[in-house]
Chain A
Amino acid sequence: MNVQDRRRILGPIEAKPLAFPETKSTSNEETTVVLPEFQAPSIQTNLLKNCNGSCIIENENTSILSSIYGPRSTRSNLFESRCLINVTIKSAVFPTSELKELSSFLINVLESFVCLELYPKAGIDVFINLNIEQVSDLSWYIPYIMMSIVLGLVDAGIEISDLPGCGFNDNNAICFTKNGSEVIGIWRDKGDIKDESSFGDSLDICKDQYLQIKGLMASYLLSKLDDDKST
């Protein structure tokens, strides 16, 4: 067993931790900007030269870049009949622990709609760069992050079974697929769900947003197809 000598850290036995009187914070409330629930962003795909697919989603305060690498070799010692997905999020604003939690959440969401069984022994790496001003909690950005991942995957030519999307309302970010008939992920920043009716309301609002986002993505993709044809 590895027993560490902690005496120098803890000090003598009779030592007591210092206690300070509670200081009252001068500002009563944090100044938070109330954002509209969804800002229609500008979309651009196929920007980066060294990855298979990329997409940038921009609106007033945010610029979210996704880059997709793969399917590529994984170095796994076990035979994997489905592909592995990895999501890495980079941001200067949010703490790493929160970003890690979000990336594992996104991996779960991605696994529900990417056709994993088509890519045995391979891995897909998703990188997200958040160039943002912190104007809200993390959940507010998730719809845009989802959008950039989905369009990046389409740009990379990776087969996905649907165009999923995410809506945001009152701390909740809810991911939908199949025209809103299926929920594939729920993210909540803080607090518990107190009453079900208010959650039901935000579910409906998120669903409306998802349909709006899906429409945006579909019209963008179709316009891109038309551009390809004309050139």
Chain B
Amino acid sequence: MQELPKQAIPGQILAPQFDLLEPIPTSNNNSDNETSSNEEPTIIMYINGAGTKLINYPIGNNSKNSKEITVISSTKLGKVYSYDVDAPSDYKTIDESRKIQFKMISVGNSELMKQSQGKNESSNILPREGDVILCRVSRISLQRANVEILAVSSKNIPIDSGVGTNGSGTVAVQGGSGAQTFSVSQASSDVGETFRGIIRSQDVRATDRDKVVMIDCFKPGDIVKAQVISLGDGNNYYLTTARNDLGVIFARANNGAGGLMYATDWLSMTSPLSGITEKRKCANPF
């Protein structure tokens, strides 16, 4: 078995997918118990975590005799981490007599990666299914609330995030990467450049799903904690607030003209300044 490199650059090969952990020759003869276990070699299966990729690497010099082996290669610049993990769900044991260890390799620099043991792709800032996000309501109708996604939990906000909402940024004259598919009329009518989402009325709460009145749950401008249920279509992510800890967390009274309100129960928020109470689908603050 080879040592893993400490740090990696993109394209660097880190480890083969399968490696053999050779039995360590026992130096002390006194321990009789350990000698028996050391005789069997252990196979290590490396699993590609964040910042790595499985690739086929040709070995052998002449083109006729070349074989390809599957190796794990780095796709990022950073330190190499490896963790012991359980067998992946799609893994089938072929030979029971073999001892197999599973190790996940990840590359990155973030502290977040240490906490999540390499599983969280902290550098990949895009919302994914299951992620909890913060969003701002931009529009409501009887069937749905349209929102713009502001942040994804436990992921860094990139420096240029939210051109148009956070400040100034450069957009290509032709409209950048978005211009390849969107029409010019749509681009000019829309201001923000954040990802957009939809909370459908049946995804607002877990009970009485068909009796939800959207205007009693959200108002434009509210800051909502929600979970991504699907990447949705080209335009929108599909979000849900059907959980106790999800829902409106910040809202202002009188359609944004009044003061900040605080949740008094699951369905209402009150402004301490004016005493006004409005209906919302509140998130459990604790």
> Could you list which residues of chain A lie within 8 angstroms of chain B, going by C-beta atoms?
49-52, 67, 69-80, 83-86, 88, 115, 118-125, 127, 154, 157, 159-163, 178, 181, 218, 221-222, 224-225, 228
B208 on the interface (CB 8 Å rule)?
Answer: no
Q: How far is the CA of A78 from the CA of B231 in the complex (A)?
A: 12
User: Per a CB cutoff under 8 Å, which of A69, A77, A228 touches B109?
Assistant: A228
Q: How far is the CA of A127 from the CA of B76 in the complex (A)?
A: 21
> Could you list which residues of chain B lie within 8 angstroms of chain A, going by C-beta atoms?
7, 9-11, 51, 53, 55, 58, 73, 75-79, 109, 121, 123-126, 158-161, 163, 168-182, 186-187, 190, 193-196, 231-235
User: Per a CB cutoff under 8 Å, which of A50, A76, A119 touches B182?
Assistant: A76
Shortest CB-to-CB span from B261 to chain A, Å, is: 30
Tally of A-B Cβ pairs under 8 angstroms: 146
In the complex, which residues of chain B have a beta carbon less than 8 angstroms from the beta carbon of A73?
178, 193-196
Q: How far is the CA of A153 from the CA of B171 in the complex (A)?
A: 18
In the complex, which residues of chain B have a beta carbon less than 8 angstroms from the beta carbon of A74?
177-178, 180-182
Q: How far is the CA of A124 from the CA of B194 in the complex (A)?
A: 14
- The answer to whether B53 and A161 touch across the interface, beta carbons within 8 angstroms, is yes
> Which A residue sits closest to B163, measured CB to CB?
A72
Q: How far is the CA of A115 from the CA of B107 in the complex (A)?
A: 15
In the complex, which residues of chain A have a beta carbon less than 8 angstroms from the beta carbon of B160?
50-52, 69-70, 72
- The answer to whether A159 and B76 touch across the interface, beta carbons within 8 angstroms, is yes
In the complex, which residues of chain B have a beta carbon less than 8 angstroms from the beta carbon of A76?
178, 180-182, 234
In the complex, which residues of chain A have a beta carbon less than 8 angstroms from the beta carbon of B172?
86, 88, 125, 127
Asked whether A154 and B159 contact (CB < 8 A) given A79-B234, A159-B53, the answer is no
Q: How far is the CA of A120 from the CA of B58 in the complex (A)?
A: 30
Q: How far is the CA of A225 from the CA of B77 in the complex (A)?
A: 8
In the complex, which residues of chain B have a beta carbon less than 8 angstroms from the beta carbon of A67?
170
Which secondary structure characterizes the binding site on chain B?
loop
- The answer to whether B75 and A77 touch across the interface, beta carbons within 8 angstroms, is no
Asked whether A161 and B11 contact (CB < 8 A) given A72-B160, A88-B173, the answer is yes
In the complex, which residues of chain B have a beta carbon less than 8 angstroms from the beta carbon of A221?
9, 77
In the complex, which residues of chain B have a beta carbon less than 8 angstroms from the beta carbon of A163?
9-11
Q: How far is the CA of A127 from the CA of B174 in the complex (A)?
A: 12
In the complex, which residues of chain A have a beta carbon less than 8 angstroms from the beta carbon of B58?
181
Q: How far is the CA of A221 from the CA of B79 in the complex (A)?
A: 12
In the complex, which residues of chain B have a beta carbon less than 8 angstroms from the beta carbon of A70?
158, 160, 177
Other A-B pairs, 15, CB within 8 Å; known A85-B177, A157-B76: A49-B159, A72-B161, A72-B163, A75-B175, A77-B235, A79-B232, A88-B172, A115-B75, A120-B126, A121-B231, A123-B177, A159-B123, A178-B11, A181-B58, A225-B7
Q: How far is the CA of A218 from the CA of B10 in the complex (A)?
A: 9
Shortest CB-to-CB span from A146 to chain B, Å, is: 14
User: Per a CB cutoff under 8 Å, which of A77, A78, A86, A159 touches B51?
Assistant: A159
Shortest CB-to-CB span from A101 to chain B, Å, is: 15
In the complex, which residues of chain A have a beta carbon less than 8 angstroms from the beta carbon of B170?
50-51, 67, 69, 125, 127
In the complex, which residues of chain A have a beta carbon less than 8 angstroms from the beta carbon of B177?
70, 72, 74, 83-86, 123-125
The 26 sampled A-B contact pairs (Cβ below 8 Å) are A50-B159, A67-B170, A70-B158, A71-B126, A72-B163, A72-B177, A73-B178, A76-B234, A77-B182, A78-B234, A84-B178, A84-B181, A88-B174, A115-B75, A119-B126, A120-B231, A124-B177, A125-B170, A125-B177, A127-B172, A161-B10, A161-B55, A161-B75, A162-B11, A162-B73, A225-B7
